[in-house]
Amino acid sequence: MLFSRRNLSLAAGMAAAVALTAGALIASTAEAAPAPAAIGANAPAFTGTTSNGETVSLADFAGKTVILEWTNDGCPFVKKHYADPPSNMQSLQKSATSDDIVWLSVISSRPGSQGHVTPAKANELTTTRGAAPSHVILDESGDIGRLFGAKTTPHMYIVTPEGKLVYDGAIDSISSARVDDIAKADNYVTAALADLDAGKPVATATSKPYGCAVKY
């Protein structure tokens, strides 16, 4: 009887361990984020809802250059680039959209976290800051942000008319929240657009993004 009980106890322990291991593997697989697209590869396909309740997909903008900007209005680094003056982000948006470039501002803050806004608040921010994105996408699930691997606000991406990802990184070269540093920095986004306009490969295709962590 003693031998039988020990065997039963051992078998039960092994079964529990196997179940825990399997459960951990399943959870790990379910939570694993897809690998972000590499420079030169196709940008991740996505569909999102805008602050105006429209459904938009990256495929809707085939044939046009697309800029994606991850944003969070409570982040000091975002405030730096939206400060008036110099209205850096607003000027970039207006310049890009005037050249028929699609500018998508993406908010991936989860509900209850810094930067999460209602559609009405998102539209209010666009108006009061004098911003000019083509669309503001509300990504409260974080699905679009994780597809791209967005890490910070701001975090910038550029997609060519052919759908290729050609820039991934910071907006500029000085990783501070000081407005005065904008004029001193090299703007990677404008430089990338100039290279594309000249028919050249983007010289600085990646850089380390800086800012507040995206609030997934």
Per-residue pLDDT reduced to its tens digit, 5-52 = 444 344 444 444 434 333 433 333 334 556 777 999 999 999 999 999
Lowest mean pLDDT among 30-34, 74-78, 133-137, 180-184: 30-34
With 0-12 / 13-18 / 19 or more C-beta atoms within 10 angstroms meaning exposed / middle / buried, residue 128 is exposed
Tokens for 184?
């001193």
CATH number of 38-213: 3.40.30.10
Eight-state DSSP code of residue 44: P
Mean pLDDT of 96-115: 98
Residue among 17, 12, 127, 136 at smallest CA distance from 69:
136
Q: Which range (7-16, 57-66, 142-151) has the least confidence?
A: 7-16
Sheet harboring 47-50: ordered strands across? 55-57, 47-50, 135-138, 102-107, 66-70, 155-159, 165-169
* Average pLDDT for the chain: 89
154 preceded by cis ω (within 30°)? yes
Domain ranges (residues) in the chain: 1-32, 38-213
C-alpha 119/C-alpha 116 separation (Å) is: 10
Taking alpha carbons only, the member of 104, 43, 99 closest to residue 69 is 104
Checking 170-176 for CB contacts under 8 A at 24+ apart, the result is 170/207, 170/208, 170/209, 170/210, 170/211, 171/69, 171/81, 171/89, 173/207, 175/208, 175/210, 176/80
Paired residues of 159 in beta bridges:
66, 165
CA 180, 184, 186: angle at the middle one, nearest 5? 130
pTM score of the predicted model = 0.85
Check residue 29 and give its pLDDT: 33
